[in-house]
A and B are shown apart, each in its own frame.
Chain A
Amino acid sequence: MTDRTLQIPASTMPRIDERSLVRKAKRSDSRFEITGLAVLVLTMLVLLALILDFMADGLPRIDFDFLINFPSRRPAEAGILSAWVGTTMVMVTTAFLAVPLGVAAGVYLEEYATKNLINDLIEINVTNLAGVPSIIYGLLALGLFVQTFGLGEIVLVAGMTLALLILPIIIVATREALRSIPLEIREAAYGLGADKWQVIRLYLLPAARPGILTGAIVGMSRAIGETAPLITIGALTFIAFLPPAPVQPEFPFINFDWLFSPFTAMPIQMFNWISRPQAGFHINAAATGLILLAMTLLMNGFAIWLRYRIRSKQ
């Protein structure tokens, strides 16, 4: 204690009414709580209204035939077989391209890249890429993949385009997941004499898996609804055949011809139907929308289940 503090009398501290302070705190607490709740309810109501409206229009239309029929000129006979098969194939391609690339890039940027101007530039660009409008990716794909490489309007090109689109999301998620691993785990691993790649492969990546998975699913959920880039690359809107099956009865039992097949996808089918004048097609579009929503929810549910499984095993 110094002399100076002794000189200041204790009486300079103003009298505090503790009770009224507590009352005030409680009031502002409940004010915020009510506002928050109101906003939440409002948002959920809008979403609910949207889904209910969809359901009222589309639900009666959904039956088994709707799923196994090709599009048709007659709305009542039209189905979404080529659309959901196309979407599934494009999503599988996207996942196989974007996840390994994104995780590898994230690991490199977080663990290996030294701080210098080039890496700083790469970092800024990766973060900014996440905000680029998806149609720009479509234009890039049209110019590069479709025209320059001459690949055409095929599943592979759609997968590559959507993979590009969600790459930044997966890279950022991977980096965040790696960064949030406690320092102690790193030190423990290096302390054992592990080399850098062992530390990453045996300890960091497993610990980062839930975070990476979340990023991948967020990316995939975005990709599944993308319409603009697919239309830009010239995806067909009316397809009455399926791509070749990926499995076959003859050796080698698996083929990749489907990658080079033209395709359509759920959002494109929806877009196509909604722009028709007949009311019957609008009902089809609503039904397609419902199924697309269900697919997204299913994907998210699968991710939650997977994450839970990983966590409970650790």
Chain B
Amino acid sequence: MDGVTVQDSAAIPTREAGAVMSDPVSHDQKAAIDGPRRAEVRELSFFYGDKQALQRVSIPIADHKVTALIGPSGCGKTTLLRCFNRMHDLYPGNRYEGAIRLYPEDVNIVSRDIDPMFVRLRIGMVFQKPNPFPKSVFDNVASGLWVRGVRQKSIVSERVEWALQRAALWDEVKDRLHESAYGLSGGQQQRLCIARALAPDPEMLLLDEPTSALDPIATARIEELVMELAPMVTIVIVTHNMQQAARVSDYTAFMYLGEIIEFGPTTTMFTAPSNPRTQDYITGRFG
């Protein structure tokens, strides 16, 4: 199946053009993924104050699959990812238009009526730089449980072990659970952050360039981890490394200047991209 191409005319969206465009685009994208969807971004625009960073973006997010967002710096991929758990709400002057529908109950998670906390309780996030809390390894992973009011010791320690094992970190830290997380290496810290996000069993996991601060060996471990986790949790990953997107993702969206240029199954995107700009980017001619 071919990737979906958004025509250049959409770069200067007018009300009419958008209205005309929206139907066929979303129709095509429904066809672009097999199986159920966990979420769908529909005509999402995002503004940092007056500056528009996302231009009526639409992509589906396949359930229990890995979706990669790629594109050159400043294309809006991190901005889009941070919409998924309303990180932008922490700073004043930011504004969403359009929708991210979360399934199965079909709620718009960027709507003003939905509290950001509700979204963040269901969708976990791992950041570009490992950001453990200045607490012990155990306390870091237990944080998400405590925040949800889960305090029963037996449950907490069981969940912590479960999450650390899923994050492939258990064997390395099981003897130092009560030592500071700052004593771990960068790669271990990032896996700790993944464990922390996994512990409360989120429906979706957002990864924002999770390996950009890591060395190649640590990067390889995180990539393996992402692939192992996909059957358990829906993952959206932002990466500036195209090989990484090709290795770990099932679907890829190529973004440029705040727009989705092309979306499709990763194999199609990397072997037969239908947009010339996608081709230029993935062959390294620009970006």
Contact = CB atoms under 8 A, between A and B. Distances in A.
Most buried by B among A185, A190, A198: A190
Interface in A141-186: 182, 184-186
Given A182-B131, A192-B200, 12 more contacts: A187-B90, A187-B127, A188-B133, A188-B193, A191-B87, A191-B127, A192-B143, A193-B144, A203-B133, A207-B133, A313-B180, A314-B182
B134 A198 contact: no
Interface of A: 182, 184-195, 198, 202-203, 206-207, 313-314
A198 B146 CA distance: 9
Interface of B: 85, 87, 90, 116-117, 120-122, 124-125, 127, 129, 131-135, 143-144, 146-148, 180, 182, 193, 196-197, 200
A33 to B, nearest CB: 34
B131 A207 contact: no
Contacts of B125: 187, 191
B131 A206 contact: no
A187 B147 contact: no
B196 A187 contact: no
A185 B148 contact: no
A202 B146 contact: yes
Nearest to A195: B117
B147 A192 contact: yes
B121 A188 contact: no
User: Lowest 3 A-B CB distances belong to which pairs?
Assistant: A193-B121, A184-B131, A314-B134
A96 to B, nearest CB: 27
Contact of B180 (A189, A193, A194, A314): A314
B134 A188 contact: no
A192 B127 contact: no
Contacts of A206: 134-135
Given A186-B90, A202-B143, A313-B180, A193 B148 contact: yes
A184 B134 contact: no
Nearest to B196: A192
6 contacts: A186-B90, A187-B131, A190-B90, A202-B146, A313-B180, A314-B180
Contacts of B143: 189, 192, 194, 202
B120 A192 contact: yes
A190 B133 contact: no
Given A184-B129, A202-B146, A314-B182, A190 B120 contact: yes
B131 A198 contact: no
Contacts of B180: 313-314
A189 B133 contact: yes
B141 to A, nearest CB: 11
